[in-house]
Structure 1
């Protein structure tokens, strides 16, 4: 305002306070550590992904090279509810896997949000898949992907890369390739820790004494033939889910379909959403059918 406007003037001793009023949380942003598989270089590239909920904008930084990869840009296809550990999000046609929180503020604000993890039923417990899936549903998990498959030796080596120096490594590889496995992507709050709790201790004998109601106590035999597996960190969950449910265009391990002396059974969506999958698998088995292949699909009309 100029001196003299509307018949008033500013005296030399007058003070002005200039205020900028912004909506609450206008500058709030959430940070995640994300990975993207670069098919050209056959590498996993890691980024810091920033999301600004006030205007729906995103920003990305290359972690390794410490440089800005994407300047802050409005992106309407990403929503706050999409941001939880283990989820896959698309940012300008690049599919990112969220593997960890980028800072303590994001962890505090969104730490109770849903996570995804891998649940793997091993060859020794495939016949008990119905009972295990029933326990998964009753524990508050949602199964978002499911597929029966068989691992090649190379895939088994990739899967057990962290156990390469263990004395039981060869036995581990032989066991996991001895028959079909059932891989699932499961979802709930604190999924990684809650799935590990439901599994129980890795040694089934110890599980029977320390966690008698756990999956490994009920269906496992020892430390190797222990019924099921779950990753123990966000990064491991992302790596293992990429092996069984690849986002890079691959098809993953081979399916187990035989297509001979068999028929097709379709479990409809309402039965899945009502948590009846485990009960139905038990009923099919108890009617003397062998389930030779299984896959969860979407998009049927």
Structure 2
């Protein structure tokens, strides 16, 4: 039966990898906006899997193609719309585009991410990468034969870049307008509040890149976030490092940019960065050291699987100890009383939604970084 506006519900096709059967199961989920309830229908078995039931921490902002939502301890990957009504309602509002922060502005990632969030974009994928000359040449193949290409290839391959998938209304054109004119000197005259006006140097070192059409966005997103094989190599160094995870509530609340800026301003190097959607088994494994030790263990696991988190490799001398000091006490209320300038004091809500995870023991810093950037990145 086709949905009507009065139904106030939306349907999607989702996939879940069943590790015990080693196969992908497909479900149709229907989300009811009235009470944030969901029902699940097993497509292959032709039967209801979950009758209409309220799902905590699931909202309209979580529903888009490519999203991963957690229902009944299953990390469901939304792969398609299930009806034309849902497709019409979501396709323009959830348009995707590709954005890249260029090497000279990687240390401005917090400020740029803050601008992106304030504009209403949702960052649905993010990864810091180091491209080879060949990879850069392939990415910019449309400029083959143009006189500026060699300088551009040298520049983009000179250091890390940050690739992002942005979602929003008319995302391609909105992001291009937010970037501003290609030449930063022109941008400072014509669009003084644009990203290139604020952070760009010249036509090559102009802070950021954006796809110029939906077709280009699809190609460029596939280049960095391939659906058919490994994505681009991350930039983790695995030396003098500790792990930070910006928790899902902080990402969804739009404060990740402020947290990144604070970390950089404190003198830490963010040497690797990646947005991750944690499945329950991964979250349980990552937090295993806390199981049976602290009573909030299961709530912590639930929070980490609630939405996308951002994993960071943070480097400095004695990084685990110094960064743990910056993170502050695990309970934000205590942090606000004792150490009000720490990250958890500023951006945490409670002991579960306390803005960030940081490595507690110095000997675990490398292990936690390896978990995100070696094990999960496979």
State the TM-score, normalized to the length of structure 1. Answer: 0.65
- Alignment of structure 1 residues 91-102 onto 2, 5 Å: none
2-structure distance, mates of 1:109, 1:115: 11
Residue 254 of structure 1 corresponds to which residue in structure 2?
233
Please say which structure displays the higher CA radius of gyration. Answer: 1
Return the match for 1:281 from 243, 255, 260.
260
Relative contact order (C-alpha < 8 Å, sep 6+): which is higher?
Answer: 1
Return the match for 2:196 from 212, 216, 229.
216
1-structure distance, mates of 2:235, 2:194: 28
1:208–1:248 distance in 2 versus 1, CA, 3 Å? same
Residue 120 of structure 1 corresponds to which residue in structure 2?
100
5+ residue gaps, structure 1:
1-21, 26-74, 90-94, 99-105
1-structure distance, mates of 2:138, 2:192: 31
2-structure distance, mates of 1:212, 1:23: 47
Are residues 1:169 and 2:149 paired?
A: yes
State how many pairs are aligned. 219
How far has the Cα of 1:204 moved from its partner?
0.9
1-structure distance, mates of 2:87, 2:249: 34
8 A Cα contact 1:152 1:253, kept in partner: no
1:24–1:125 distance in 2 versus 1, CA, 3 Å? closer
Residue 129 of structure 1 corresponds to which residue in structure 2?
109
1:147–1:120 distance in 2 versus 1, CA, 3 Å? same
Return the match for 2:132 from 144, 152, 177.
152
How far has the Cα of 1:235 moved from its partner?
0.8
| Partner SS for 1:201 | coil
| Partner SS for 2:187 | helix
Return the match for 2:211 from 205, 213, 231.
231
| Partner SS for 1:135 | helix
- Which consecutive segments of 4 or more residues in structure 1 shift more than 6 A? 22-25, 95-98, 106-111
Residue 190 of structure 1 corresponds to which residue in structure 2?
170
| Partner SS for 2:164 | strand
1-structure distance, mates of 2:147, 2:273: 33
CA RMSD of aligned residues (A): 3.4
How far has the Cα of 1:138 moved from its partner?
0.2
5+ residue gaps, structure 2:
5-45, 48-59, 68-77, 284-300, 302-378
Residue 160 of structure 2 corresponds to which residue in structure 1?
180
State the TM-score, normalized to the length of structure 2. Answer: 0.52
Return the match for 1:293 from 262, 267, 272.
272
1-structure distance, mates of 2:246, 2:270: 13
Deviation readout 1:57-93 (Å, 9 max, x if unpaired):
xxxxxxxxxxxxxxxxxx99xxxx9xx9x9559xxxx
How far has the Cα of 1:110 moved from its partner?
6.5
| Partner SS for 1:185 | strand
Residue 141 of structure 1 corresponds to which residue in structure 2?
121
| Partner SS for 1:288 | coil
Residue 249 of structure 2 corresponds to which residue in structure 1?
270
